[in-house]
Structure formats: structure tokens, C-alpha cells
Chain A
Amino acid sequence: MKDSHMFSALKKGLETGEKKGADYVELRAEETHLTLTSYADGRVDNLISKMRTGLACRVLYHGAWGFTCGRMDDAGTLVAEACSLARATSQNRKEKITLAEITPSEENTHKHYRIPPHEVSFEDKISRLDTLYDRIRDHDERIKAVSIKYSDSHGKKYLMTNEGTAITQETGHVWNYCWVTGKENGTLTAARDEVGSSEEGYEFFEKQPAETIADRIGKRVVLQLRGKTPKKGHFPCVLGPRVVGVLAHEALGHLAEADLTLNSSFNGKLGEKVASEMVTMVDAPLEGTFGGQKYDDEGVKMARVDIIKEGIFSGILTDREYASKTQMPACGAARAESFLFPTLIRMRNTFFEPGDCNDEDLFEGIDFGYYCVDFRGGQAQLNSSFQVGIQEGFEINDGEIGDPIKDLSISGVATDALFLIEGVGKQLGFEEGRCGKDQIAYISAGGPHIRVKKGGILFGGRE
């Protein structure tokens, strides 16, 4: 649909909302073409095209929300229904929900792909997967099964509100995920690899060619097979950038999402020291990473938030509702997976800022500890307990990187662990992935190498 036709259709919905007496009406339409290929051991398991089209309506009526979604040509009905839902809710609220003021934007944003993924043929996409599969199998004879998923999308999101916001954003992504199984002497193990971009087109795979992905994941599987069973307990450790990213995401990132902050151990701690002074942690829309765009799904420009600045808890991620509730700035963190969902407060690109240590110095003086290089999942709890699965790690012996270890989890309590960071490296690195807080959101996270004193991280090993 042409943008002008779309906005004409949405305008009718706005008029319905105003007639019904809604304080705020937000219409979010979507036209997205997605493809997904799942590929297993040389065969195409699923080759899927999807035309996702629909309309989300959110209204604020007498201080309560109503949300509906459905067909694009049904704006009036959907808005009327959202008003009715909000009215029912509002009758039962004492404190009315209000929104932080913003300056409404009118803009049409574009992607600048060199190779638009939607113009690459299925044959070429499958050919890349064939090559990747061959490279992974060739990496080591102990590799026994390879599963790969590739997805991309291309489309537009339209946002129109009764405050005057009228934004069209071109959207898209490319994403590649591998799960590889290795076997030796009756022992099975597996490792994963995930990369993606919401900014670049298919040219992304020039930076991530099959050989690079295959070497990376093949190495992880073989290290798992060779790995020693890790010990259990507290040890000093050095965390690599990919693990530091997950630590940033899980240890404090989630609890800095305002809807969670207010129920968490960090509630009321803004302005207080929550970490070693060498820690500065940020969430921001970074160029070239996964999860950023110019505006969020409420039409607020995505902005940098310094969550921890030199050890002080300084900022939280907000949508307009929680910005008003907490009197913090609206930072553009309201994101929805698709038109089927209302917005939620989500991280974008979360990272520790670099420090001034040389990476090799971080290992010095550790008689025995662990070096955690890559992760498999992580999870946060409201009491600031965090967990990160480690799929690539090594012992540290007398300041040197030693034998590889089998996979395990590390955990800790952020309110304690962040104080025990005693060294921050100079070189930033990132990982790209997905966060599953109720809805799936593309995110990235990273940081430099960091060193954590004994007592900060509990190793869930067995020896």
C-alpha cells in the first residue's frame, strides 16, 4: 500500500478514537515480508515465505490501556473495540496512567542496503547454506549433525497517533543461527552460533562468510569434546566480550527496564553506587548492530541511556508511560515484536564501556580461575540473581589460559557481583542475539574483557 493511502486509512481510525473520547490513540500498521529457511544435514527442512500484514491499535482512555489488533482495513472497528476495553479497565483504576510529553515526529526512514535480502533468490540463499554446511562438516570428523536457520525480513512499519506522529520506517534484518552436534567415544555435545544485523542487507555475510562461522562453531564443538569437567564454587575469572555482553543484559540490563526496575532490588537506587567505579554500562541504538532503529514503536527517537556511570546507577529504560511514572526521560525503548503485540520496554544494544587495562594484564596473578569466552543463554531474576550459560571456556593456571572446559553455568547476584569487577579491558566486542521477555526482540550486547574477583561469580561445575 502507498504511504499516503495507508495514512488515510489510519486517520479514519484516529477519528473513531477521538469520537469515542480516547485521550491517546496510537495506530501501528505493518507490512512485512519474511523468509525463513531451516536446513538440517544437507536438506531444506522448511522454506517459508510469510506476508505479515495487520494493524495494532492502542488507546489510553481515562487513564487505562485498551489494545486490539487485526486486519488492516478494519481500523475503525479495532479502535472502537480498544476504547471499549480501555473504558472497562479505567473504571477500576485509582491512579490514572499518563504519558511523558514528546514532540511528535513526521518522518519516512529508509534502509541503505547494498544487497537487499529480499532481492536475493532462494537458490542463492540455499547455496550459501550448502556451503556453510560443507564448511562446518569439513571442520572436524567428529561433527555429526548440523542444523542451520537463516531468516530475513523486509517491510514497513507505519505509526500514527492523534498527537500528530506520522512515521514510516523501513524495516528489515538478516539472521543466521547454527546448532552443531559433535560425537566422540559415545559422548555427545553441541554448540551454537548466532549472528545478525538489522541494518545491513545480505552483504552482512561478506563480513560473516561461511568459513568464519564454520571455524567459530566447529572450534566450540571440538573444545567441548576435549573439555575438562569444570569445578564448582567461587573462582576469580576473566570474561570475554560476548559473555560480558550477556552479563550486561542479564545482571542489570533487565532490571534497568523500568517496568521491572520498580519491582526489583534496584528500585529506589538511582544515584547510588551499585558497581565498581570502573564500570560504565550503557544501552543505546548503535550503528551497525542488531536491534536499533531511529524511532521506537511509540514514535520516540531511540536515545542512549547511561545505566551505570562510573559505578553509579544513573539511568533506566523507559516507554512513555514509565517515563511519566518515574520522571525519567522517554528514551525510545518501547518495542513490539509485530502488530500482534503491544509495546514493551526492551533493551537495544547493551554494553560495558571500555576501560584502560590490556587484555593480557587481566589474567595476571590468577593462580587458578576460569576464562569464559562464549555463552549459551542467560536469565535474570527480580532479586538481581543472574545466570549465564557458558559454552566455551578455559581454565586459567598461573595467569595463563589453560585447558578447555565442558559447558556449565555461571551465576551471581548483581548487587554484589558488580562491585567485584576489578579490571576492564580496552577493546569492545559484541554479540548479536534475541531476547525473550514475553516477546522476541533482536538485541546486541557486548563490552571489553573484564576481570571479576573471587566471590563475584559462582561456577556451576561438578568437580
Chain B
Amino acid sequence: MMNQMIDLCEYTVSMGEKAGADEIEAMWMKITSISVKAQLGEVSEASKTRNEKIKIRVIKDKAISSLVTYQLQKGTIQDAVEKAVQAAQASKKDDKWDSLPSPGTYTRMDLWDSTMEAITPEEMIDPVIEMVGLMPEDISVYLAFNDISLSQHACVNSNGIHHHDQGTGGAFGMMIVGKVEGGVTPGFDEVVFMRKYRPDPTDIARSLVDRVNLFKNTQTAASGKSHIIFAPEALEILFQYTLFQAVSGENVARGKTLLAGKEGELVADPSFTLHDNGTASEAMGSKEMDDEGVPCQDTPLIENGVLQGYIWNDYWAKRMATKSTGNAHYDDRTDEISIQQNCMVISPDDHGREELFDVRDGYYVLGLQGAHGSNPESGDFSVVCTPAFRIQNGELTGGVTGMMLSDNVFSLIKKVDAIGKESKVSGISILPPVRFRDVNVIAK
């Protein structure tokens, strides 16, 4: 299959050269996904989707255009290439365009799990039923799921890039609410992201039930400065819309981040180290090449609090006289190429759970509402913590509702108080829980 697709990419590039393109890139991608879902306590749907397409990027007289098609016959491809060249001719010249990427050295990664390739939907149903079956009557399952995907990519360009990679991935999880007098608790969810197929229904069920039961011990929050421990999921969503944007090379080049020009400066607490690691074998975003064929790598961003650098795609790296870090990201929905993280990793420290929660008063935040409305330029965020727990004398004492946080991410990373030692793999990151001090809390 991969050979056929490399052939199709080569054919596409040869057609582009014939059609008068100065440069051309063909990126073929195929994602096959199988999913089993349960709603309202019962398995309701099994699905298998195939998303296979080719993206053709053409440069003509320093103007760029792309064409995406799901029709992969050679005749259709030839027509598509000609249209892409015509579109480039109608596009706007970019005097700063240099060239498409050149070949690099790839880190060979074994990201393929043959169990996932062979598994049947019937086999995927059982863990979902088991997980749902472990829920007591006072808990309602909004959604339980077992998803796997098989991804394959091939990239050929007229500058000599010629590579393919593949990977499997899975997500197994559940979202529940607890029934309480007059309503429900906030939704609690737990998702385990897997490179190898190992769903564990018992672990997820137990963790969720414990949290919901603890939440029912209602506690109140108090306005003022407080210790906040962010669970990895909450930290990921907050940083996705603030800090991770601030280290984008494009935002540096365009003057859209307060971290621009601060390499070598202390920008965070010395305990804080952040890398983007596109080669971490357990990460969901890891791969051999990015979405323009550049090798993925481990890129230090903040080391012991000191800013080390940024993430780049090939275009912005060349404009700023540096090298791509393999962070070109193709958006499957909009088909845009932009700079995105592969896998953000905060280095864990040696604080076990007891040490991390050892504060007289504070809050443990599992999820945030409104992180996507943060201001990535200023770094300001104003979010609702839900679900969240009160910590008193080192113990989680119950759930709080309606509590908000209003602070600034560039201040926040200077207020790191303790970093946990157990990291969690999520969609775009591998993060430990992190405790911050003096965070601005607003209680209802």
C-alpha cells in the first residue's frame, strides 16, 4: 500500500513539473478509524471511517496554492495538479518565499501496533460494556468509547523529499455525571491515549467513581490568591491556547508573542522545563516527519526556566534564518499548513502525590471552561474551574462549583511551586500535575 502511495506522490510531482510548477509537494494521507460508542448506559454505535486524500502544494513564481482531493485516480490527479498550478498563477507573489523543504535525516520510529491493525469491532465492544457496567446507579454515562486509528502518510517533493511513515493510536475513555438532588454534578471524564492497545476499564471506572463521590461533599471556594494544582488535562487545555501559542516561530516573527527576543532569559520558575518532543514513542503526536516531510525532533523550549527557542515550520524558519524543528502541521479540517506542537512535554520533578497536595489551603483543578477564549498575545486567561476540588491540610475535601481563575500565563509559569513525578499522555502533550502559588481565584 505504501509503495503504491509513494508511486502516486511521485506521479503527482512529475505531473506538476510538466504543468509548469516551479516546485511541488505531494502529501498522501490515509486514516482508518474504528470506533465503538455507548450512550445512556448501552453500546449504541460502531463505526469505521476511511479518510484518504492527497494534498498537492504548488509554487509558481513565488506564489503558493494547494489542492486537496479524495479522488486518487491518476487522471483525476493530473487534472488536480493543473488546477493547482492555475491557482498559484492567480495567487499573490510572496517575495520572501525561499523553497520547499530539503531532505533530512529521520529518526526511525516503530509506532505501529499490529494488535490495533488486527482488532475487530466485536473485540472493541467488550471493554466498553465492562466499563459502563461498573458504574453505580447514581452515575449516568454520557459517553463511553473505544477508538483506534491507523494513520499512514507519504510525502514527495520536487526538492528531493521522499518519505513515508505510519502509526497507530487509540483513545479509551468515558464521560459521566453524578446524580445529585435537583440536578447533576459537572461532567467528569477520563481518557487514556494509547499507542499500543491496552484498554483498562476497571482503572478508568474506579478513578471516575471516586472523583464523583468525593465531589458530592460540597465545599465552598474563597476569593483571593491561592495554591492551584492543575491536573495534566487542565494544564494542557490552558497552555494550548496560551503558552504553546507563545512559542510558535510564526508568532515570534510577526511580533505576536511576549516571548519574542527573550532567548536566554529567565521566563519561568527554574523548576520548569518544557520541550516539544516529536519523537517520544508514547506520545500521540510523534511521527518521523511533519506534514511537509521535515524530520520531527526533540526541541528544547524552556530549560530550567530559561527560554531556549521556539517551534518552526520550514517557511518561517527560513525567513528568520533558522532551521525547521519539524512542526509543520496540516489541519485535516481546514487543510491549512501552520506551526503546531507535536508533543509538549513538561519535565516531571520528584514530588509524589502526597507532597504535591501538601498545602494548607488550595484547589485541585481537573478541567477548565473557556480556555479557548484566552488571549494568547497578552497571556491573560479567565476561566471556570470545572470540575475542581478544595484542598485543606493536604487532603481533598470535596467539590467546588462556579470557581474562576483570572491570571496571566507568563506570570503563572513564574509561580510554579511544585511539579509532580507522574506524567500523563494526552492528545498533544505529556504533562505532570503542576502546583502554582498565588493564583487569582474568584469564588461565586
Shortest Cβ distance from A46 into chain B, in angstroms?
5
Secondary structure of the A contact surface, majority rule: strand
Q: A89-B46, A181-B256 are in contact. Are A411 and B369 (CB under 8 A)?
A: yes
Which residues of A are found within 8 Å of B43, using beta-carbon distances? Answer: 64, 89, 92-93
Would you call B18 an interface residue if the criterion is a C-beta within 8 Å of the partner chain's C-beta atoms? no
Residue of A nearest to B337 (CB): A46
- Mark A47-80 against chain B: 1 for CB-CB distance below 8 A, else 0: 1111111100000000011111111000000000
A188, B125: Cβ atoms closer than 8 Å: no
B268 at the interface (CB under 8 A from A): no
CB-contact partner of B335 in A43, A50, A190, under 8 A: A50
- Looking at A118-126, A308-316, A327-335, the stretch in contact with chain B turns out to be A118-126
With A38-B336, A43-B94 as given contacts, are A233 and B71 in contact (CB-CB < 8 Å)?
A: no
**Can you name the residue of chain A whose Cβ is closest to the Cβ of B126?**
A92
Q: How far is the CB of B182 from chain A (nearest CB, A)?
A: 8
Q: Is the CB of A50 within 8 A of B67?
A: yes
Give the chain A neighbours of B129 by CB distance below 8 A.
92
State whether A49 touches B402 (Cβ < 8 A): no
Cβ-based interface call for A183 (8 A): yes
B241: nearest residue on chain A (CB-CB)? A377
**A interface residues, how many (CB within 8 angstroms):** 92
User: Using an 8 Å CB-CB cutoff, how does the interface string of B120-142 with A read, 1 for contact, 0 for none?
Assistant: 11100100010000000000101
Q: Is the CB of B46 within 8 A of A123?
A: no
Residue of A nearest to B141 (CB): A263
Q: Are B383 and A52 in contact (CB under 8 A)?
A: no
Binds B, one of A157-165, A211-219, A401-409: A401-409
Q: Is the CB of A52 within 8 A of B70?
A: yes
Assess the B223–A232 pair: CB atoms within 8 A.
yes
Contact with A along B56-87 (1 / 0, CB 8 A): 00000001111111110000000010011001
Main secondary structure of the interface of B (DSSP, over half): mixed
- In the complex, which of the residues A41, A47, A183, A412 has the most CB atoms of chain B within 10 Å of its own CB atom? A47
The reply on B360 being an interface residue by CB < 8 A is no
Contact B71 A387 (CB under 8 A): no
Chain B residues lying within 8 Å of A144, measured Cβ to Cβ, are 255-256
Q: Which of B67, B185, B442 has the most CB of A within 10 A?
A: B442
A residues near B254, Cβ cutoff 8 Å = 40-41, 145, 181
Instruction: State whether A189 and B45 are in contact (beta carbons under 8 Å apart), knowing that A51-B70, A51-B80 are contacts in the complex.
Output: no
Write the nearest CB–CB distance from A436 to chain B, whole angstroms: 8
Contact at A188–B370, with CB atoms within 8 Å? Answer: no
A458 interface contact, C-beta 8 A = yes
Cβ contact within 8 Å between A265 and B80? no
Among B108-116, B373-381, B424-432, the stretch that binds chain A is B373-381
From residue B147, how far is it (CB to closest CB) to chain A in Å? 12
Residue picked from A46, A54, A234, A407, most chain B C-beta under 10 Å: A46
Given A40-B254, A145-B255: A382 in contact with B187 (beta carbons within 8 A):
yes
B21 at the interface (CB under 8 A from A): no
Q: Mark A130-158, 1 if CB is under 8 A from B, else 0.
A: 10000000000000110001010000000
Contact in complex: A89, B406 (CB < 8 Å): no
Q: Is the CB of A53 within 8 A of B71?
A: yes
Q: Quick one: given A43-B94, A188-B378, are A69 and B406 in contact (CB under 8 Å)? A: no
B377 touches A71 (CB 8 A): no
Which of B47-55, B98-106, B151-159, B346-354 has 4 or more CB atoms under 8 Å from chain A? B47-55
Shortest distance from the beta carbon of A196 to any chain B beta carbon, whole Å = 14
Is B184 among interface residues, defined by CB-CB distance under 8 A? yes
Question: Across the interface, do A379 and B369 meet the contact criterion of CB distance under 8 Å?
Answer: yes
- Distance A54 CA – B401 CA, assembled complex (angstroms): 45
A259 touches B39 (CB 8 A): yes
Contact with B along A179-192 (1 / 0, CB 8 A): 00101000111100
Q: How many whole Å from B310's CB to the nearest CB in chain A?
A: 16
Q: Does B228 contact A (CB under 8 A)?
A: no
Are A65 and B401 neighbours in the complex by a CB distance under 8 Å?
Answer: no
B44, A382: Cβ atoms closer than 8 Å: no
Nearest CB to that of B246 among chain A residues? A188
Asked if B140 and A49 make an inter-chain contact with CB atoms under 8 angstroms apart, the answer reads no
Q: Are A409 and B121 neighbours in the complex by a CB distance under 8 Å?
A: no
Query: Could you say which residues of chain B place their CB within 8 Å of the CB of A378?
Result: 370, 373
Give chain A residues whose Cβ lies under 8 Å from the Cβ of B401.
383, 385, 413
User: A47–B383 contact, CB under 8 A?
Assistant: no
Report yes or no: B334 in contact with A415, Cβ–Cβ below 8 A: no
Picked from B42, B187, B382, the residue with its CB within 8 Å of the CB of A409 is B382
Cβ B255 vs Cβ A189 within 8 A: no
A91 smallest CB distance to B (angstroms) = 9
A36 touches B335 (CB 8 A): yes
Could you tell me if B140 and A263 are in contact, using CB atoms closer than 8 angstroms? yes
Is A373 close to B, CB under 8 A? no
Within 8 A of B (CB), among A412-463: 412-413, 415, 440, 458-462
Which residues of chain B from 208 to 256 have a CB within 8 Å of any chain A CB? 223, 250, 254-256
Are B83 and A49 in contact, with the CB atoms below 8 A? yes
State A233–B92 Cα separation when bound (angstroms).
49
Q: Are A81 and B48 in contact (CB under 8 A)?
A: yes
**Residues of chain A lying within 8 A (CB to CB) of residue B183:** 264-265, 383-384, 415
A86 in the interface (beta carbon within 8 A):
yes
What residues of chain B lie closer than 8 Å to A385, measured between beta carbons? 186, 369, 384, 386, 401-402
CB-CB under 8 A from B334, the residues of chain A are 36, 48, 149, 151
Known contacts being A36-B334, A411-B402, is A66 close to B47, with CB within 8 Å?
Answer: yes
* A44–B47 CB distance below 8 A: no
Does A376 reach chain B (CB closer than 8 Å)?
A: yes
Which residue in chain B gives the minimum CB-CB distance to A39?
B92
Assess whether B46 is in contact with A85, with CB atoms less than 8 Å apart.
yes
A43-B96, A232-B223, A384-B183 are contacts. A93–B44 as well, Cβ < 8 Å? yes
CB of B196 within 8 A of chain A? no
Of all chain A residues, the one with the shortest Cβ separation from B187 is A382
Contacts of A232 in B (CB 8 A): 223, 404, 406, 440, 442
Q: How far is the CA of A50 from the CA of B335 in the complex (A)?
A: 8
Which of B51, B373, B377 makes the CB contact (< 8 A) with A189?
Answer: B377
User: Is A262's CB within 8 Å of the partner chain B?
Assistant: yes
Q: Contact: B122 with A88, CB < 8 Å?
A: yes
Instruction: Write the nearest CB–CB distance from B222 to chain A, whole angstroms.
Output: 12
Interface of A toward B, CB cutoff 8 Å: 36, 38, 40-41, 43-54, 64-71, 81, 85-86, 88-89, 92-95, 97, 121-123, 126, 130, 144-145, 149, 151, 181, 183, 187-190, 232-234, 259-260, 262-265, 267, 337, 340-342, 375-389, 406-409, 411-413, 415, 440, 458-462
Name 13 A/B residue pairs within 8 A (Cβ), A-sorted: A49-B66, A85-B46, A88-B46, A123-B90, A126-B90, A183-B255, A190-B376, A263-B142, A379-B369, A382-B186, A383-B184, A388-B373, A460-B442
The residues of B with any CB-CB pair to A shorter than 8 Å are 36, 39-40, 42-51, 63-71, 80, 83-84, 87-88, 90-92, 94, 96, 120-122, 125, 129, 140, 142, 177, 182-187, 223, 250, 254-258, 333-338, 369-370, 372-378, 380, 382-384, 386, 401-402, 404-407, 440, 442, 444
